[in-house]
C-alpha cells in the first residue's frame, strides 16, 4: 500500500473544485488580472470563493500573485510557467474529445 497520494489525484482534486478551471481559463486569455477583474470575468463567483481558489492555485504553483506597495493596494494574478503548461494540457484533452466524440 502506498502512503503518498498520487500526484495526478492531487492535481485532479484541485482542478475539480468549483471555479478552478474558470480561473485558469480567465488567466490564460489575459496576461494579468486583478481580483475585481476576475470577479467580473467569472459571473456568479463570490469574492470569498475566488479568494480561496486563488490561494489554492498559488500554493500549487500555477499562478503568480504580485502585490504592489501602493495606496490603495494593488494585487495582480497571472499564470506561472507551470500554470501555462497545465493549461496546455487542456488543449490536448480538447483534441482528444474532438477526435473521439465523433465516433
| CATH number, span 19-100 | 1.10.10.10
What average pLDDT does the structure give for the chain? 89
Q: For the chain, what are the domain ranges?
A: 19-100
- Alpha carbons 46 and 37: distance in angstroms, whole number: 13
Query: Residues near 54 by Cβ (< 8 Å), separated by ≥ 6?
Result: 23, 35, 38, 63, 65, 77
Q: What is the pLDDT of residues 48-80, one digit of tens each?
A: 999 999 999 999 999 999 999 988 889 999 999
Helical residues (DSSP H) of the chain, grouped into ranges = 7-15, 20-29, 35-41, 47-60, 81-100
Write down the pLDDT at residue 73.
86
Nine-digit cell at 15? 482542478
Cα 91 to the center of its chain, rounded Å: 15
1 pLDDT higher than 50: no
Q: What is the mean pLDDT of residues 6-27?
A: 88
Amino acid at each position: 500500500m502506498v502512503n503518498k497520494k498520487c500526484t495526478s489525484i492531487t492535481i485532479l482534486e484541485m482542478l475539480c473544485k468549483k471555479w478552478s478551471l474558470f480561473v485558469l481559463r480567465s488567466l490564460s486569455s489575459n496576461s494579468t488580472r486583478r481580483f475585481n477583474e476576475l470577479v467580473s470575468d467569472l459571473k456568479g463567483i463570490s469574492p470569498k470563493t475566488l479568494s480561496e481558489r486563488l490561494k489554492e492555485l498559488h500554493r500549487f504553483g500555477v499562478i503568480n500573485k504580485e502585490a504592489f506597495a501602493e495606496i490603495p493596494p494593488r494585487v495582480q494574478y497571472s499564470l506561472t510557467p507551470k500554470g501555462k503548461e497545465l493549461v496546455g494540457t487542456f488543449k490536448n484533452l480538447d483534441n482528444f474529445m474532438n477526435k473521439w466524440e465523433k465516433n
